[in-house]
Chain A
Amino acid sequence: MQAFKISDLPLSAVSAADNEFQISGVGDDSSALAASMAASGLCIPILVTRQGSAEAYTVVSGFKRLEAARTLGWETISCRVAHDTIAKSCLAKMAVAENAFQRQLGPGELVRAAGLLSKYMDINELAGISQAVFNTGLNSGYLKSLLSIHDLPAHAVHLLDTGQLSIKAAKLITALENDAVHALLDIFSALNLSASKQTEIITWTKEIAARDGVTVKEVCMGADIRQVLPSADNLKDRAQAGNRLRGILFSKRYPHLDAAKKAAADSVRTLKLPKGIRLTLPESFESSVYSATISFTSVQEFAKRAEALGQLSGHEGLKSLLDR
C-alpha cells in the first residue's frame, strides 16, 4: 500500500483553515515563493490529508505554497494526498521534517513544531527522534523550554517569528506571572532589540520588581516607560526607543552607579578633550585607575597632544572626576 497518492486537486477543495500542522510563521511574506512558482511551477507537491470521507483536504505541509498558488490564481495544485490510514502523529512528524530538512527552522517554527509533536509523544521520545525530525539533536531540557514557550500567549510565538523575541528571552518570560508576561510582550512588540538586550530588560524589570516589592507589570506600566515606547507601527523610532528604555531601567536597577556614570560623563565633558586624547574610566568605578590615551602620527603631533594632556592636570573637571 502506498502512503501517498499524487493528485492535482482543485484549490477550492484544499483548506488551510485548520492549521494544526502549520510550522511556518503565520503572515510570513510568500511573494518571493509566488514569483518562483510563477516562473518554475511547483517543484514539490504539497502534503494534504483528507477530511473524513468528503472530497475536502487539509494541508499538512505546504501552507505557503498553497497561499502562493491562490495569489497566482491557479485553479488546481499538485498534492501528495496522505493515505487515510496514516496516523496523525506520523503526519505531524512529516510536517516538521519537511520544513526542517529544507532549511533551518526559525525560533517560532521550533516552538510550534515541538508543540505539535508533543501532542503525540512525551519529551523523551521527542528528544529521541529529534535528529530524524528536526534535522538536529535536541535534548529534553531544551525541548521542555520550547514547550513552556509554546504555552505562552500566541503573541509570543509571533514575536519569535518576527525576531522581536529570542528563545532565551522567551524562556525567561515563562517563569513570570501571566500579567508580567503580557506586559513584557507588549514592550517587545514595540521594539526591535538584540537577544542580549531583551534578556537585560527582562532581568532588570524582574529584579526591580522583586527589590521594590511591586509587580513586574507595575514596573513595565510605569509612566516613564510607557512614554518612550513608540506605537507598534512606528518602525523608525524602535532602535532609539530601545536604548531609552534600557537607560530608564538601568537607572532604576542601578541608581547609584547610573548617577556616578552620569556625573563622570559630565566631568569628562567639561574637560573638552582635544582630538587624539581619550580618557578611560575604571569599569563600574571599582578600580581607582583611570587611563588616558594619546594617538599621534608624528613627533610634532605627539608633543602637541602630550602638552594638551599635561594641561588637563590643573582642570577642575579632572579634579572632580578623581575626587568622586
Chain B
Amino acid sequence: MKISRLFIDTDLEKERNRDESLNREIDYLISKIGRTPEMVGDSREIYDLINAADDPVTVAKTILYITRNRGAVVRECPGTSIYTCCDYTILHTGTFCTMDCSYCILQAYFHPPVLQYFAGLDILSNGLDEAFGQEKILRIGTGEYTDSLIWEPVSPMPAFLVEKFAGQKNAVLELKTKTVNVNSLMDLDHNGKTILAWSVNTPAVIGSEEKGTAALSARLAAARDCAAKGYKLAFHFDPLVIYPGCDIAYANVIRTIFDHVPPEDVVWISIGTFRFMPQLKPIVEKRFPDSTIAYGEFILGLDNKMRYFKPLRIGLYQKLVRVLRQVAPGVLVYYCMEDQEVWEKTMGFFPAKDGELGHMLDKAAADKCGLDRRLL
C-alpha cells in the first residue's frame, strides 16, 4: 500500500524546530516516504477527509498522519474477566496499518481508522524509563493497534526501541509483525531483550485473507535470519481460521516453523481462533466480497465477540497442541482469550489464578531473554 498523502501536525512541526532529535526522526520519515508533507492544525480535517471516502478504510491506509501521542505511552492491555488474559503491556507507537487483512479488527475499532505515526523518541524513552523502574517483569509490545514493523523501512523507531530495551533487565520488547522488515535491526546489540514475533497462518489463509503481507516462507526466512543474529522469537497463530483441511495445513505450518528455527529460540507461541466484534462482519463483506472468513460457525461469545462454536475451537486446538508438543516440547504455548473448559480439554490444565498466565509468560521471558529472575 503506497502513501498517497502525508500530513504533519502543525504543533509537532513547531516542536521539531526546537528539538534536534525529533527533527531528525521526522526528516528521515519524510525523505523515505517521498511525499511532500501537508501541515494540519486539527486532526478532524483528516477524519473528515477519510470519512468522505466511499471506502474510508482503504483510503485511511494511504494517508499517513505524523503526530504526537497525546495519551499514555505505556498502557495495560484491556483483557476480559471471562477469558484468560495474559497481562500484556502496550507501547503506543501508532495506529492502523498499511497492510490489508480481511479480518483486521482495526477496521471496526477506530471511527474512522487513521494511520498515525507517533513521533518523538523522547516521549517513548521517558515512558519506558518509568516502566523499567518498576519492580516487576513486563512484556511490552507495540503490535496491538498497528503492526510493529510497518514503518521500519522509513523510521528509526524500531531500532531505537531495541537498543533502549537492551539496557535494562525487567522488560522484554515484543515486535509483532506480518512483514519482513527487519533490516535495521540485524546488527543491533539487542542483548536478548527483544523478541521478534511473527503472526503466522496457512499459505491458503495468507493468500486469501492477508493482502499486502509477506508470504509465510518470507516471514520464516526473516525469523531464521533474526535467530541467527541472536534474537529470540515468538509465533502467533492468530487468527486460526477453520476450513476443511485446516488442521493438516496448520500442522504443516508448525513443522515448517521448526524447520527454520530451533525451539530453544522460541520464547512462546500463542494460538487463538478467529474472533471478532459483530460490527466487523459487514465491513468484511463490503471490502472483501470474495472472503468467506465471516461465514464459519460463529456464535456470540461471553465477551460479546463472535467466536467459533466451542467444540470446533477445542477440536482444532487439540490437534495443534499435540503437534506443538511433538515438535517443540519445551516451548510455552498459550491461548489469548480462552476459558477454563478450552484450556483443560486441550492443554490439560488451566491457569486459574489471577495473573497465573501472565506469570508463566514472565517466567519464559525471564528464562530465555535473561531478565532479572528475582522479579518473578
Contact = CB atoms under 8 A, between A and B. Distances in A.
Interface stretch (A123-131, A140-148, A279-287, A311-319): A279-287
Given A254-B297, A255-B297, A257-B297, A286 B307 contact: yes
A210 to B, nearest CB: 5
Nearest to A213: B292
A94 B193 CA distance: 76
A256 interface: yes
Nearest to B289: A210
Nearest to B313: A286
A267 B297 CA distance: 23
B295 A285 contact: no
A256 B309 contact: yes
Main secondary structure of the interface of B (DSSP, over half): mixed
A210 B281 CA distance: 14
B302 A256 contact: no
B248 interface: no
B300 interface: yes
Given A283-B299, A285-B311, 15 more contacts: A208-B295, A210-B292, A211-B292, A211-B295, A254-B297, A255-B297, A257-B297, A257-B309, A260-B309, A286-B299, A286-B300, A286-B310, A288-B340, A288-B341, A324-B311
Contacts of B375: none
A210 B309 contact: no
Contact of B300 (A210, A260, A284, A288): A284
A286 B296 CA distance: 16
Interface string A206-219: 01101100000000
Interface in B292-318: 292, 294-297, 299-302, 307, 309-312
9 contacts: A211-B295, A254-B297, A256-B311, A283-B299, A284-B299, A284-B310, A286-B307, A286-B310, A288-B339
Interface string B11-34: 000000000000000000000000
B288 to A, nearest CB: 11
**Taking each of A207, A253, A285, A286, which has the highest tally of chain B beta carbons within 10 Å of its own beta carbon?**
A286
A15 to B, nearest CB: 45
Nearest to B301: A286
Contacts of B310: 284-286
A137 B294 CA distance: 35
Interface string A287-324: 11000000000000000000000000000000000001
B311 A260 contact: yes
Contacts of A284: 299-300, 309-310
A283 B309 CA distance: 11
A319 B362 CA distance: 39
Contacts of A287: 302
A207 B294 CA distance: 9
Contacts of A285: 309-311
Contacts of A260: 309, 311
Contacts of B302: 286-287
Nearest to A259: B311
Contacts of B292: 210-211
Top-5 shortest CB links A-B: A284-B299, A207-B295, A211-B295, A257-B309, A210-B292
Contacts of A324: 311
A284 B306 CA distance: 11
